[in-house]
Chain A
Amino acid sequence: MTELLVKNACVIDPLSGINGEVMDLAIRDGKIVEEVSDAAEVVDAHGMLTMPGGIDSHTHICGTKVNFGRYMSPEDMRAGRTPRRGAMHATSGYSVPTTYGNSYRYSVMGYTTLLEGAMAPLEARHTHEEFSYTPLQDTMANTLFDGNWGILEAIRDGDTKRVAAIIAWTLSAVKGFGVKLTNPGGTEAWQWGKNVTCIRDPVPYFEVTPAEIIRSVVEANELLHLPHSVHLHCNNLGTPGNYTCTLGSFGLIPDLNKKRQTLYATHVQFHAYGGSGWKDFCSKSEPIANFVNMRPQIVMDMGQVMFGRTTTMTADGPMEFNLYRLHHDKWSNHDVELETGSGIIPVVYRRKNLVNSIMWAIGLELALLTKSPWQCLLTTDNPNGAPFVKYPEIIALLMSKRYRDAEFATIHPDTGSRVPLPAIERELDWHEIAVMTRAGAARALGIQDLGKGHLAPGADADVAIYPLKIDEVDPSAEYQRVIDGFSRTEYTIKRGRVVARRGECLVDGSNATFWVAPKVSEAYDMGKDPDFIEKFDRYYTVRMRNYPVQDEYLTRSRCIETEADL
């Protein structure tokens, strides 16, 4: 039995309704409890800002394309190297750090749970292998279904239950967490070098539209009672005028779940563009935020862009090729048979560039114009908009109009006429930041009942203590203190153990992987479906028996079983 008492913590825990109360947190065997014995180890938080461990609801940290991002970029590896020190292994990389690099840097920022945004089922084993070398966070992986042939055919046949059955079989087989649709239909079209422009174009050969894919997969997701909703990367990413496509996609979504949203729309910054080309490119954050404000069934994340170098990587292969034709640096692409694809290119977002400046503004606008912080979570779609180490700066920008204005003065001079940002006065408070970086993420992912994102008794003791006294810091004026405070915790506690202290990681965490196994009736068990098996054998290049990820790959396996309506 191990006990820990965190004393004098100034707690913000939105899911428990605690907002800035100085209190003690008792921890036993990795869980928050009512009280501990006198023998408990004591950590004095000295009235510092204490929140549940950070949860990144959409990041790219592990798996095939992330690793290829490293593989093709020795220049990025050189940009961030640390030696082995104490319990810490050597790390490399800036925008795509090594697994240890990701894990340590997130931990030092107080993050304890990470969702890898895109895992191709066929290559899932790779993601899980890397997860086991990401020792300080719990992990989970959204699984790609955007170009899945079985699903496309079932949708063409109007059989939503079969769509659900294929998702159920696949998630269980690859130990995936949620359903990800990236440019639905577009990734399949890209395997012929084509794309879809928006939700009404038919996918070549399969003759279904993205709108049908989205609607059907959203319904199937709810039939399976998955903890998380469908996680959608809309069609037509990064194109001027694409906000209409985004609104069209949002408009397809009914409100199907009482506990959480029905759609999680990811990196919406990249989907909130106006104009008819790059010449009249402008922000359309207002119509997007207004739409979301009226639809409780939608949660989005920002996909904030920050200036500097980074690497873009996504399952949206055709988009990456188009971007490559603009930047002409280097380009990798990796299509995955019967399932999905991906692309990677390095980019530099420049202050002097008008388009980049507008992109920077749009992300902030989405967060500031969305009334409820529960509906707009803080991400950069790491590393697409920026590496996650930029989060503290983003927090400060959201909390300080003065900081935004100071930054605004350094960007392209024409930005002002294209974006509403300068007119937005809102400054978010500590509580809203806590929602956007942990509580809201936990609710959106459906993991609060599993003890994540809050500090009520029974919760996992994942705690971040920041060297910030919220009654002494005025975030509106002292934004540098906010940045410094969120960059390095005083303590990060993972499952009841102090894993990081003032920038040093002290021990390996006891990381776990969350995955979902929906229970379906015999008739919907795809493992026994003759047609499914036959197609698998004929067109995949691995045998069906060798496809599922074995238990050996999960250091600590947290399986979530659901009862499906099938």
Chain B
Amino acid sequence: MIVKDAVCPFCGCLCDDIEVEVEGNRVVAVTNACELGMTKFMGEKRLKNPILRVENEWKDITYDEAIRYAADMLLSAERPLLYGWSGTHGEAQCVGVHMAELIHGVIDNTSSVCHGPSILAIQEVGHPGCTLGVVKNRADLVIYWGSNPIDAHPRHLSRYTRYAEGFFLENAFRDRKVIVVDVRKTETANIADEFVQIKPGGDYAVLSALRAIVQGKTDTIPRTVAGVTREQLIRVANLCKSAKFGAVYFGLGLTMTQGKYKNIRNAIEFISELNRHTKFTISAMRGHYNVYGSNEVNTWMTGYPFGIDFSRGIAFYNPGETTAVDILARKECDAALIVGSDPAAHFPRKCLEHLAEIPVVQLDPYPNATTAFCNVQIPVAVTGIDAEGTAYRMDGVPIRTRRVLSTDYLSDEEVLSRMYALMQEEPRP
């Protein structure tokens, strides 16, 4: 059987043109996906059932037992943390928010360690953006800044930019220029028309220089700025101004380097400035296939995209205080539910030391680095492979993933709903 137009649940490109060939309920071939997507569809080793750590051994338990364990753990915690969410569907994320509200917990998602700074910048200056198809059809200039799609979003270039056919471009490959700005020469830089190499930590200065040039203050620019020559800066600024439609895609190379959210703020203001001359947009390259969805869900339900603390009954938000890393580093948190992410692979050591000391339940289809920190791991269906659900592409377009296999695994939403139902039975003040 061939499933057409399946949706790849790996990166923020959320490609929805995948063909999956299934034989005997196993994926045997995948067309259109990139290497990363293909690996995801072909599957990894999955747990058969929930497991509980007893001493230093894993013991098999039933779903009912695992769900009861998690509910009790969360109910008896004083400062529970519900973290992750970027690797699951929106329906499950909604249950997570209700749960956090009920138990006065903290709910946070992985953007607090990736594009959190972008969100902070947007909260200060806004966001001139667009859907990916606008760029595909119109953009004659694309800038990748601190992002490397060839490695992280392999089909971004072919579906939306460099190699994508565009309605308003006769010969898209020839008519569209690509600029890469980065601290090192990446794979993506190799296919760019112009590569701007910045000294590490120099993004803010380079953005300021470009802004100044666009504002006509070229004579204020020194001979080099963070390793970039004045000539190149002027050339890039002119390319931007003379583009009919320009698009900037930035990644962690801009959000997580020196300056952090100030970099993004400067970049957004540079784009706002360019809009006085031509049309320009800017967007974040979101990593996980549904990290943006978790920001969306949190926002319509609580008002904030991440790091929401319900300990006072109301939704309270203060990144740096109410975000997972901070709560763990301060050793505040006394129980953690991890859904659809692998914090052990990304969090600072100090946080992991605390995670090792408190009860942790993880919902994930696969064992990963966080498994070692868990008391219980509950295997679940993979959205987009054996479960359906909503995911938001990096540009905010929601797509419903398809189910290509049928398995007995419960979906995240089912497991969480059952947990939530148990928790609601407890009397509340």
Contacts and interface: CB of A to CB of B under 8 A. Distances in A.
A126 B131 CA distance: 14
B37 to A, nearest CB: 15
Interface residues of B, number: 63
Interface in B75-101: 90, 94, 98, 101
Top 7 closest pairs, chain A to chain B, by CB: A337-B133, A92-B303, A83-B313, A193-B279, A77-B303, A330-B126, A335-B130
Interface stretch (B143-151, B215-223, B324-332, B396-404): B396-404
Contacts of A90: 101, 302, 310, 313-315
A335 B137 CA distance: 12
Interface of A: 62, 64, 67-68, 70-74, 77, 81-84, 89-93, 97-101, 122-123, 125-126, 129-130, 133, 149, 190-193, 205, 321, 324-325, 330-338, 341, 344-345, 538-543, 545-546, 550, 552
6 contacts: A72-B126, A125-B390, A191-B138, A331-B272, A338-B133, A545-B4
A337 B136 contact: yes
Contacts of A133: 94, 300-301
A541 B313 contact: no
Contact of A321 (B119, B122, B275, B301): B275
Nearest to B296: A67
Given A125-B390, A330-B126, A335-B130, A92 B315 contact: yes
A71 B5 contact: no
Nearest to A544: B5
Contacts of A130: 300
B132 interface: yes
Interface string B107-148: 000000000000100111111111111101110000000000
Given A540-B133, A546-B16, A333 B128 contact: yes
B317 interface: yes
A546 B136 CA distance: 19
B53 interface: no
Interface stretch (B56-64, B65-73, B159-167): B159-167
B244 A192 contact: yes
Given A122-B131, A193-B278, A100 B301 contact: yes
A70 B300 contact: yes
Given A125-B390, A191-B134, A191-B279, A332 B301 contact: no
B295 interface: yes
B126 A126 contact: no
A236 to B, nearest CB: 20
Given A77-B317, A89-B101, A546-B7, A333 B281 contact: yes
Contacts of B303: 70, 74, 77, 81, 91-93, 97-98, 101
A101 to B, nearest CB: 8
Contacts of B5: 543, 545-546
A101 B300 CA distance: 10
A98 B304 CA distance: 9
B74 to A, nearest CB: 16
Contacts of B138: 191-192
A337 B17 CA distance: 18
Give the most central of B245, B304, B310: most A CB within 10 Å: B304
B36 interface: no
Most A C-beta atoms less than 10 A away, residue of B122, B160, B165: B122
Given A64-B396, A71-B119, A330-B124, A192 B245 contact: yes
Given A73-B123, A92-B315, A330-B126, A335 B131 contact: yes
B205 interface: no
Nearest to A344: B126
A104 to B, nearest CB: 13
Contacts of A542: 16, 397, 399
Contacts of A149: 167
B427 to A, nearest CB: 14
Interface in B191-240: none
B131 A336 contact: yes
